[in-house]
A and B are shown apart, each in its own frame.
Chain A
Amino acid sequence: MNTERKLVIEAGRMEKHYWADLWQYRELFYFLAWRDILVRYKQTVIGVLWAVIRPFITMVIFTIIFGKLAKLPSNGAPYPVLVFSAMLPWQFFAASLGDASASLVGNANLISKIYFPRIIIPASTVISGFVDFMISFSMLAALMAWYRFIPDWRIVTLPLFTLLAIAVSMGIGLWFTALNVKYRDFRYIVPFIVQFGLYVSPVGFSSTVIPDKWRLLYSLNPMVGVIDGFRWAILGGSNAIYWPGFLLSVLLVLVILAGSIRYFRSVERTFADII
């Protein structure tokens, strides 16, 4: 940052130089994400295990309830693999919402004392949640090996769907972050949405069980597109994507992400005064 010799501070400056500032503070972004990752795996006693146990137990329960008791179709794949391929993006999304919405209030001492583009903080929590995602992913690989389930060529498209998952998590996470600073009781709503969403989204079951006439409406839940995409890429076979719904989801995600960045920026300037 030694190149920045002269700095003019005036009203509206932050607005004008937003993206340039963001680029300039990229190292801080890296360090905050690094901190969040370090702390995440130091604080919990069982460390990495925690990232493994949670989705695993959820997967077992869902397999028993939806697969064995309700006997929902698994479209050719082993039911645990079907559930786990959806748990991947879902866990990532849920953790991002929770962590991001609490992040600004949790870093209040930073915000009230130092300048940097505030978007770095929720963004770095989302990125650090990505480590959990990678751990879960290796679990999925183990699970697939156990069932001797071999994915086809579509697996190479998975990074694209992962990007989509990051976009959803970031988009909704930013909305929640900003709202949580503005309304301090908003955090009570977040766990409710996460819990509720787990059952509304096709995590424990395939979205093919939804009647066709409702599928477009169902796709208004942006996680439907993400989860369907994951299943399409990982499981292949008869897990066909319902394209109109998927495109609707993608469009919605982009709108949410753009809207959230706009909203976040509009309230960002007041954060230091509110917190």
Chain B
Amino acid sequence: MIAIKVENLSKKYIISHQKRERYTALRDVLARKAKEIFSSRKSPQITTEDFYALKDVSFEVQCGDRIGIIGRNGAGKSTLLKILSRITEPTKGRVTLNGRVASLLEVGTGFHPELTGRENIFLNGAILGMSKAEIKRKFDEIVAFAETEKFLDTPVKYYSSGMYVRLAFAVAAHLEPEILVVDEVLAVGDAQFQKKCMNKMGSVAQEGRTVLFVSHNIGAIRKLCNKAVLLKNGKLQAQGEVSEVVNRYICDIENTGMETDFAAIIARLPHEPAFKFTGIEVEKHDAGPGMRFIYTKDINIALKYEVMEAKSKLFVVLEILDSEGNVLVESFHNPRDLNPVPKGAYVSRAVLPGGFLLPRVYEVRIYAGIFGERDFFRPPVSFVMETVHDGAADMVYDTRPLQGRFVLPVKWDNVKL
């Protein structure tokens, strides 16, 4: 049975070139009108341009599928989500949904800080589309899931951020929709809680319900989904089995340059009171656009961060994954140092020695945390990089590329006997 059917879906926005105001102010409108009356000259013609955030997108999702929506920023993922959750209407085309849709992209939406946990459960449940009877029936279950029994009658403004998110997620998790829409930003909170979230998503899928998961994180998509849809510039680029679509996405990134705007990546990270990244710098080789590196040369990565609360067992970690999502390397900034790290700004420089990573596409992940307590950023900073040949010299016997996963500097001693 088909759970979601999207047919020729288009969404058009009209961009005006004359003004770039974030919002319209009445005084500006009045001033403009007044100008038009008093001057014979007409105000400059407003030129508009049609912009298609989505264009002729069609796909089908079978019941019980876990489908990943991937694509770079501006590909139309969030527009698609907005249409599915009915926040905006499509310009053309239609979507048929068989079953109740709930989205986890709005964890905690409508929570009011002055209201108690109990009151917020009811309010949030109603906002997410539960009936009063339904909330009453699941109330105990929600409270148990959130582990906030003791604070039920405390206003949520006194909750820790972890408790807040737990409660919010608990409500959303008990929606029992036929179709669950999840945005990756949901995965904040401590590691144990994330596991709970992932388990919940898994069990939803196992019960034969449909999950639609939107993410930048190829690894997460690969892990959670069986099908995927790739969007690019508002158009459907590929759909099908998750491995095929993800490979297509990676190829696509290779061809068009990779996301190297670290400031934007950092800005997307969830807020963390104890720690923040202030900058990530990767020294470029002269190997073409984007994150391309000559595989025989060292890759220098500098991580700048600020520690806002003195913590011991602080770690910053760098992981390198292959295109299948396997972790190849995990490297800590200061292993085995358990001393408290004083407040302040820091920079940690890492050198990935040249000649080890074969010319392939890799995913690099960077995050931080307190060992044994929690990871700060989930999903972590993640970007795709590629190591490339620097010429024919890397080829083994003319055109045959090197096999294997790593280059191991094996010592050879060749002697004529």
Contact = CB atoms under 8 A, between A and B. Distances in A.
Given A109-B109, A110-B109, A110-B127, A10 B90 contact: yes
Given A10-B93, A11-B91, A5 B86 contact: no
Interface stretch (A38-46, A90-98, A158-166): A38-46
A8 B123 contact: no
Contact of B89 (A13, A43, A179, A185): A13
Interface string B22-55: 0111110100000000000000000000000000
B87 A38 contact: no
B220 interface: no
Contacts of B88: 269, 272-273
A9 B87 contact: no
Contacts of A38: 114-115, 119
Contact of B87 (A112, A183, A184): A112
B25 A184 contact: yes
A27 B126 contact: yes
A213 interface: no
Interface in B72-119: 82-101, 105-106, 109-110, 112, 114-115, 119
A50 B263 CA distance: 47
A111 B115 CA distance: 20
B128 interface: yes
Contacts of A6: 96-99
A-side binding surface: helix, strand, loop or mixed? helix
Interface in B120-146: 122-123, 126-129, 131-132
Given A11-B91, A35-B115, A114 B109 contact: yes
Given A10-B95, A269-B89, A183 B132 contact: no
B97 A7 contact: yes
Interface in A167-213: 179, 182-186, 189
Interface residues of A, number: 42
Nearest to B129: A1
B95 A27 contact: no
B90 A5 contact: no
A145 interface: no
A42 B131 CA distance: 25
A31 B25 contact: no
B19 to A, nearest CB: 14
Given A43-B114, A110-B109, A1 B100 contact: yes
Contacts of A179: 26
Nearest to A14: B89
A35 B156 CA distance: 14
A48 to B, nearest CB: 16
Given A2-B100, A5-B99, A185 B127 contact: no
A35 to B, nearest CB: 5
Contacts of B25: 183-185
Given A5-B98, A7-B96, A28-B126, A110 B110 contact: yes
B282 to A, nearest CB: 34
Contacts of B132: 27, 31
A273 B127 CA distance: 20
Contacts of A184: 23-25
A274 interface: yes
Given A39-B115, A186-B26, A272 B82 contact: yes
Counting from the closest, the 6 A-B pairs by CB-CB distance are: A115-B86, A183-B26, A10-B94, A31-B126, A113-B106, A9-B95
Given A9-B89, A10-B90, A11-B92, 6 more contacts: A1-B129, A8-B96, A13-B89, A35-B112, A111-B87, A114-B109
Interface of B: 13, 23-27, 29, 82-101, 105-106, 109-110, 112, 114-115, 119, 122-123, 126-129, 131-132, 155
11 contacts: A5-B100, A6-B97, A27-B126, A31-B132, A38-B119, A42-B115, A113-B105, A115-B85, A115-B86, A184-B23, A185-B26
